[in-house]
Structure 1
Amino acid sequence: MTTDDAGRTSVSGVWAVGNVSDATALVITAAGQGAAAASAEWCGPCIRVTPIVEQVAAEHAGVLDVVKVNVDEEPGLAGRHGISSNPAFVVYADGAPAKAWTGTAPKPLLERSLGPFLR
Structure 2
Amino acid sequence: MTNTESIVKQRGAHIGTTRKGRGFSESELHEAGLSIHAAIRLGIRSDPLRRTKHQKNIEQLRLLLDSMDKDALKIRKLSNKRCRQTAKPHKGRTERGLTSSGKRTRGLLRTRGLKSTKNYKYKK
Q: So what's the TM-score if we normalise by structure 1?
A: 0.24
The structure in which a higher percent of residues are strand is: 1
Q: Which one has the largest radius of gyration?
A: 2
- The one of the two structures with greater contact order (alpha-carbon pairs below 8 A, sep at least 6) is 1
The structure in which a higher percent of residues are helix is: 2
Q: So what's the TM-score if we normalise by structure 2?
A: 0.24
